[in-house]
Amino acid sequence: MLMRYWTVNRRGRSIALIGMMGAGKSSVGRCLHRRTGLALRDTDEIVTGSFEMSVPEIFAEHGEKKFRDAETEALRRVRTEKEMIIITGGGIVLRKENIAILRSQAVIVWLDGDEEALFARASGAQNRPLLQTKNPKKTFSQILAARRPLYANIADIRIDTSVLTDEEVAVAILAKLRKMNPKPKSPSRAKP
Ligand code: S3P
């Protein structure tokens, strides 16, 4: 079912998904895209497209700093386009400029969850260079502890994804957006 965008977000802003690796930003973004008809942009995809390399390859060959620069550049580029769903990488909150760009154009939705659930999802795929350590679980825990306050600080909406399917998360986001942007009452007729 396609939900007309204006019925959920009358302020005409984009919807940015933030959160830790494993939070489900990409899959939830695709659900939102199907439900709203809004365009979809993914900063990781823009970055890997510009390097023509995978994220682990970029980290290995160019280092994290170059990846972060390209990530910011990707966000600058999406800023000029019209309303859309913006899927971000988990580290998007590490730079003030990224936060300013997101805040200026989007309702920011934080996909959170239990550490266990997030780690189980994040460690399933082998495409996260930050987790290629001796003790990925501990690394994950440290990154999560450092980032949670950053996510909390900029989020307009927080969803606990631990026990929800991607579709359920998308539905919960749209319901919260509708609540934030209630339908304007039709003007009452002036009394004679
Ligand atoms: C990162 C998260 C990744 C990707 C890169 C760095 C991070 O994206 O941008 O590996 O710093 O948390 P996902 O959040 O989609 O895994």
pLDDT attached to residue 21 = 96
SS3 state of residue 81:
coil
3 state DSSP class of 19: coil
Measured CA to CA, the distance from residue 135 to residue 43 in angstroms comes to 27
Q: How far is CA 142 from CA 5, 130, 131, in A?
A: 37, 11, 11
Ligand 1: residue whose CA is nearest its atom 11? 91
Please, which residues bridge with residue 85 across strands? 15, 40
**C-alpha 37 to ligand 1 mean position (Å):** 25
Q: 16 CB under 6 A from ligand 1?
A: no
Provide the β-strand partners of residue 42. 87
CA of 92 to the centre of ligand 1 (A): 8
Q: What is the rounded CA–CA span in Å between residue 143 and residue 11?
A: 33
The pTM assigned to this predicted structure is 0.91
Please report where in the chains the tokens 């899959």 appear, as a residue: 27
DSSP secondary-structure letter at 191?
A: P
130 lines ligand 1 (CB under 6 A): yes
Which two three-digit tokens encode residue 186?
Answer: 């039709």
CA-CA distance, 171 to 29, in Å (whole number)? 11
**Predicted local distance difference test score (pLDDT) of residue 12:** 67
Residue-by-residue pLDDT tens, the chain, 192 positions:
555 555 556 566 899 999 999 999 999 999 999 999 999 999 999 999 999 999 999 999 999 999 999 999 999 999 877 889 999 999 999 999 999 999 999 999 999 999 999 999 999 877 899 999 999 999 999 999 999 999 999 999 999 999 999 999 999 999 999 888 776 666 655 555
Decide if 160 contacts 113 (C-beta within 8 A).
Answer: yes
Total count of residues recorded for the chain: 192
Distance CA 128, CA 115 (A): 16
Closest to 97 (Cα-Cα) out of 154, 167, 30: 154
